[in-house]
Structure 1
Amino acid sequence: MVKKPQEPLTIPKWYFYTLHLMLLSALGGLAYLLSAIPLDFPGLFLSDEKIVTVAHRGASGYAPESTLSSYRLGVKMKADYIEIDVQMTADGELIAMHDKTVDRTTNGTGSVKKMTLAQIKALDAGSWFNEKHPIYARDDYVNERVPTLREIFEAFGKDTRYMLETKDPEEHPGMEEKMWALVEEFDLRKHVAVQSFSRDSLMKIREWDKDVPLFQLLWYNRPARISERALDEIAAYANGIGANYLRIDEGYVDRVKQAGLLIYPYTVNYQVNMENAVKWGVDGVHTDFPDRFLEVIEELDDPEV
């Protein structure tokens, strides 16, 4: 016996209208709720901000500091920034060198500001490293030259970021103007940060670019202390603070961060200090060994690695 097919179920039109009205009302209520709550949409999808690795004078634990070899290693080791100490020669050229004299890191002697670029370019800036660090010595480092800031920008372009430090700008009038002109010539505004012990130097650069990250460098001879007033003054023109790691502690880091400032301590080379800095909540670290610091971060993120 064949059963008679059932007639299709008929749903009244008013049911669809009511269902759609309820759905629209719910969406409207959700939209109103979200509009009342400030949301950081990028923050909903991105993981916690990474800790920044600054290759201090390049990967200077493995190669002659402030040379193209050192900077190449810093880039190869995936540092977020290569740090460049900017000084000006007697003939107005910008070079990468930390000390006021060429004595320690070349085979010459003399004050940078009293020497021409040609005189500095004639010096060997690499052999000293081979003698001091034979375990990392390389033939390529012999006769390494002191690079100009232009040569560094030409070598790496937009393949990295640059932490530029204006060294003793009060002794080198016009340094900031020349440096910033090069930044603009190579279209690197979004690839640089600037640090200095000179407040005036940083404020000058802030006038030219309201977005460039600026770091006020501080040096402490005893356990670091900083007042709320000092932090407020720094926050008025800078984004963060760089302080010598061995004089700060977790409380100092917390105070700086509570003021809305970043903190990048320098120079952190030993694993135990790297681990402490990360646990304290620093935003970045200057190190001669960027590969070691990245390994520490990875191990702390995943202890079983």
Structure 2
Amino acid sequence: MLTKNVVIAHRGASGYAPEHTFSSYDMSHFDMKADYIELDVQMTLDGEIIIMHDETVERTAGLPGIIKEMTLEQIKQLDVGSWYNEKFPELQQDFYAGQTIPTLEEVISRYGAVNYYIETKAPEVYPGMEERLVEILDRHQLLTPERLTGNQTVIQSFSLESLIKVHNLVPGMPLLLLTKKEVLRNMTDDDLKQINHFVYAVGPSIKDLDQPLIERMHGIGFLVFPYTLNQPDDMTRLIDAGIDGAFTNYADRLRTAFNAENSEIFEELNRSVD
């Protein structure tokens, strides 16, 4: 079970490659050995679950378009890699151009039964998203008791309502509640304990995190995985303060900060060799 020194590749290796593309996921998974691939999901007009952070395609495709009003066929025509080459010329690669938006099915087909962190983005915009998501995960054998017990398929959201829906659909599903600044601080212990009955971890902003808050969350029973931990100084500060893992655009940096030989993925590799 992944519960310490956990490296969650935020949109893949998005510090080095176009976010939420196979180039980004390949780098974080195969090259950097991140513990989890992190995915944001949206739903198209024709009910397909795609991987995209924004509700529109403008930022990464450079064209107008609202995802809920577009079909998968329309989505698949978009190039979501060229923008990265233009914005980060020092990191550009020719093969980034032409990268397309993957569906959840395509991601699972490519990477199989690896560890996934899946965020329901804007679930209020997409009625039925949770049901469709669970159906796909179940069909691909990603909701087995072993995977759920091992926290290998995790659903996260800023929406507590969305997490409740997922919990009702799959009572054993590991869930993480993402929170914006000050939200956890302003919640009572009683409210947090109620949430902890079905939510195993919290994901606060690094801007809102210090040792007292981490210790309070641990005392209630949560693991703490902040977002988005990219800078070495922040990594050192929060690792020393007691975080259990983090979302990062730089899985290689965070792996180094956690000390690679002590991270759980390396423990598993060593055991398999022995």
TM bin (shorter chain): 0.7 to 0.9
Divergent runs of 4+, >6 A: none
Q: State the partner residue of 1:293.
A: 254
Larger radius of gyration: 1
Q: Provide TM-score, normalisation by structure 1.
A: 0.79
Q: Take 1:49 and 1:102, find their aligned partners in 2: how far apart are those partners?
A: 34
Residues 1:222 and 1:261: Cα distance change in structure 2 (over 3 Å): closer
Q: Take 2:87 and 2:210, find their aligned partners in 1: how far apart are those partners?
A: 31
User: 1:233: how far off?
Assistant: 2.6
Note if 1:168 corresponds to 2:122.
yes
Q: State the partner residue of 1:31.
A: none
Identity percentage over the alignment? Answer: 41
- Structure 1 unmatched runs, 5+: 1-45
* Residue correspondences, number: 255
- Structure 2 unmatched runs, 5+: 263-274
Which of 206, 228, 232 aligns to 2:189? It is: 228
Q: Take 1:256 and 1:221, find their aligned partners in 2: how far apart are those partners?
A: 13
Note if 1:213 corresponds to 2:174.
yes
Cα deviation 1:3-56 (Å, max 9, x = unaligned): xxxxxxxxxxxxxxxxxxxxxxxxxxxxxxxxxxxxxxxxxxx9x953111000
User: 1:207: how far off?
Assistant: 2.1
Q: Take 2:90 and 2:184, find their aligned partners in 1: how far apart are those partners?
A: 34
Output aligned runs, 1:1-305, within 5 Å.
50-76=4-30, 77-158=32-113, 160-189=114-143, 190=147, 191-220=152-181, 224-298=185-259
Residues 1:128 and 1:221: Cα distance change in structure 2 (over 3 Å): farther
Q: Take 2:164 and 2:188, find their aligned partners in 1: how far apart are those partners?
A: 20
Q: State the partner residue of 1:34.
A: none
Residue 110 of structure 1 aligns with an amino acid whose one-letter code is G
Deviates more, 1:123-132 or 1:215-224: 215-224
Residue 266 of structure 1 aligns with an amino acid whose one-letter code is Y
What secondary structure is seen at the aligned counterpart in 1 of 2:178? strand
Residues 1:136 and 1:214: Cα distance change in structure 2 (over 3 Å): same
What is the Cα-based RMSD across aligned positions, in Å? 2.1
Cα deviation 1:197-240 (Å, max 9, x = unaligned): 11121112212333321001111169954431231132122111
Q: Is the 8 A contact 2:131 2:169 kept in 1?
A: no
